[in-house]
Structure 1
Amino acid sequence: MDYVYAVLNHPLTHKVLLWAALGLGVGVAAKLIIPGSEAMGWIRTILLGLAGSFLGNYLTPILFSWPAYYAFSWQGIGIGIAGATVLVLVNRVVTRS
């Protein structure tokens, strides 16, 4: 039981859970930004959102020389939405061909 408590209270666990929550919102936002009907389900939307959120949280400190905690700011969320939007467009191109 102490192990479970230690894992759940680890800062990395909190980051991953926050990325997952942001990924859901980012995926939905990216899907709403792209015009037209997308034939992808919620699971793919969440996965693309997670990937976009991860890219935003990973690339924000690298691209802008910001501290890592800025990735969880409005700028990081915006970059996550942009990354997920690009991934939705790539998904559209790949699945149509």
Structure 2
Amino acid sequence: MLNIIGAIISGLVIGALARWFYPGSVPMGWIPTILLGIGGSLMAGLVTSRGRGDFSRAGCLASVIGAIALIFIGRLLHIG
């Protein structure tokens, strides 16, 4: 249960940072922002973790970049 709450909180923070750093307006609510952050974290985790489970600042930066990439792909495909 604690893992789910942690994923929601980190997803909200990562998603909010991605929306803030993305150039231009990104109109979406809290739930899509959380899902965006979780998706960005998962995408970055698949690329950067290589089996390690520790916390790193580079992993957080990669998560924000992954979420920004998801915003870009969503805009490219006209989703949302």
Q: State the TM-score, normalizing by the size of structure 1.
A: 0.67
Higher RCO (C-alpha under 8 Å, 6+ residues apart): 2
Tell me the TM-score normalized by structure 2: 0.78
| Residue from 32, 41, 54 that aligns with 2:20 | 32
- How far apart in 1 are the matches of 2:56 and 2:48? 10
CA RMSD of aligned residues (A): 2.0
User: Where does structure 2 lack aligned partners over 5 or more consecutive residues?
Assistant: none
Name which of 60, 67, 71 aligns with 1:84: 67
Q: Which residues of 2 match residues 1-97 of structure 1 at below 5 A?
A: 8=1, 14=3, 16-62=4-50, 68-70=52-54, 72-95=55-78
